[in-house]
Chains A and B, each alone.
Chain A
Amino acid sequence: MEEKSLIQKLPRILPGLLFMVGSVILLRLYVEPWIKDITVFGTKGWLARELNLNYILLSIILGMLYRNVLFGGKIPAWAEEGFRTTRLFIKGGVIMLGCLYTVMSLAKVGGWAIVLILTFVFGTVLFVMWVGRMLGADRSTIGTMGAACGVCGVSACIATAPGVKAKATEVAMAIATILGFGLMTMFISPFIGKALGLSDLQYGAWVGTGILNSGQVLATCLAFNPTIAKGTAVYYGELWNLVRVISIPFVVFIITAWYYSKEAKEEQGGQAQKQSFGQILKEKFPMFVLGFMAMTILSTLGLFGPEKSETNHLLREAMQWIFAIGLIGQGAYIDFREIKQAGGKPLKIGLAAGATKYVLALIIIKLFVPSDYDV
């Protein structure tokens, strides 16, 4: 049967697509502000900040509810073609994510701190690859968990997932693991920090390196010292976290390149004959990852206006809407039965990597980072 063109498919795409767009409008205009206003444990916005219940998770959760509750376990025929545009929006969101990063932001952090943080980021990625192989996990699981544990959780995981062809279930499990791990460490870290007599610098550096999610880094630092000022735990934690976040484009690029180089090798029956990196790029490498890198370069060159400008704010807003549409679809591909079948491998990898990074960072920081240093 001859394949239909995109224009011919449009009538079948529109119902599902409009359903996703409508859901996002509802979520972003009504549900998200409502969640930010809820007071839990006496703190307004606790759910949004501590549990990271922002548009990313809300979109995925809503999509999961659609499939598993509203649709009875399968996306209905009328919406199927529209939901197939999910990856288009996820990839679009990833490309736009690039315009929020500038390499210049690294200048805010001292050289030794950059070396330390990047060693942990890439060291964790390598560790996840090793543990993943030991447990016999899929390369796509290893890729998403590597990004999630190495960098700062949710964004890195979502940005890497389409490049390594990860299943929606794998993404969901990676996110659940890092948020669960973050939640646990969020409560114990202030006690450990006080017991070991860590200074604000040491504590911020440790938490900014060891905890896997940006929101949780902020909350954990504030639990240690609620003062927001230069030289406090939250100041250093955010600074450390910033370097991790800036490394996202490079981590995504490296993990995707690793994924495709292995795939090329497998296709050749595991023979020693290797495809050149140029060949991999030309034939297989996901072009949207290059688009993501290109946006980071353009942003560094100042083409999208100064950092924190109105233009930057609008670009971020557009990115969030694009991502949210894709993430509703992403959630709708998560089948509760598949999560059961996936077993505990992603959980084991995530916990092993997270715990190792958390403990190792504490030892190194306690031994080598001075208690007071003007960064």
Chain B
Amino acid sequence: MAGAADAKGGKMTVFKSDRHEDYASMVMVGIVTAAILFYMAFLVGEIKLKATDDGKVMEILVKPDTMVKKGDKLATLAAKDKKMVGGKLEEKPVTRTVTSTLNGKVLSVKAKPGDAVKKGKDTLMVLVPEKGQLP
């Protein structure tokens, strides 16, 4: 793309041909992706579990050093289910359960009941994932 005019007249790549450049880009991405997947699966030490909704923490269901499995309940949040119906905003209080997305161990709990949390911003707890899974 860059300077295709140059490409048509002269050479716009450091490789022998466009095909070679295509293969080189695929190799480069392959290496980067493999490195990221390896890092996340085997080297990453801890994962911060963030709030899944805006609301208040109702209960923390695990303690530090608890072993958890994917799907285990970790906490409950008091949230509001907002929906626009017929041009009016309806708000319904709901309880959301936060579940573990991986197998691992709870390293520390950062939130306590009554804390106001923001979706995707506030950390509820820190987990150490089991090796070999992609958190």
Q: Which A residues lie at the B interface, using CB under 8 A?
A: 3, 6, 9, 13, 81, 84-92, 95-96, 99, 140, 161-162, 165-168, 171, 199-200, 225, 227-232, 235, 286-288, 291, 295, 304-306, 309-311, 314-315, 318, 322, 326, 329-330, 332-333, 338, 372
Cα-based distance from A322 to B28 in the complex (angstroms):
10
Query: For chain B residues 6-28, which have a beta carbon within 8 Å of chain A?
Result: 6-8, 11-16, 18-19, 21-26, 28
B12 partner, pick from A84, A166, A372, beta carbons under 8 A: A84
Q: Within 8 Å CB of B7, what residues of A?
A: 165
Q: A88-B13, A91-B22, A92-B28 are in contact. Are A140 and B2 (CB under 8 A)?
A: no
* B11 partner residues in chain A, CB cutoff 8 A: 84
The digit string for B34-57, where 1 denotes a CB below 8 A from any CB of A, is 001101100010010000000000
CB of B115, distance to nearest CB on chain A (Å): 22
In the complex, which residues of chain B have a beta carbon less than 8 angstroms from the beta carbon of A322? 28-29, 32
Q: A96-B29, A200-B84, A310-B47 are in contact. Are A86 and B89 (CB under 8 A)?
A: no
Q: Which residues of B contact A (CB under 8 A)?
A: 1-8, 11-16, 18-19, 21-26, 28-29, 32-33, 36-37, 39-40, 44, 47, 81-87, 89, 101, 134-135
Task: From the candidates A3, A87, A166, name the one contacting B21 in the complex (CB within 8 A).
Answer: A87
Contacts of A89 in B (CB 8 A): 25
The CA-CA distance from A165 to B86 in the complex, in Å, is: 49
Interface SS, A side: helix
Neighbouring B residues of A231 by C-beta, 8 Å: 83-85
A and B contact pairs by CB, cutoff 8 A, 16 listed: A85-B13, A86-B2, A88-B28, A91-B25, A92-B25, A166-B4, A229-B84, A230-B82, A232-B89, A235-B84, A286-B22, A288-B26, A295-B29, A305-B135, A310-B135, A338-B5
User: Who on chain A is nearest to B22 by CB?
Assistant: A287
Complex Cα–Cα for A240 and B11 (A)? 41
Q: Give A231 to B33 CA distance when docked, in angstroms.
A: 37
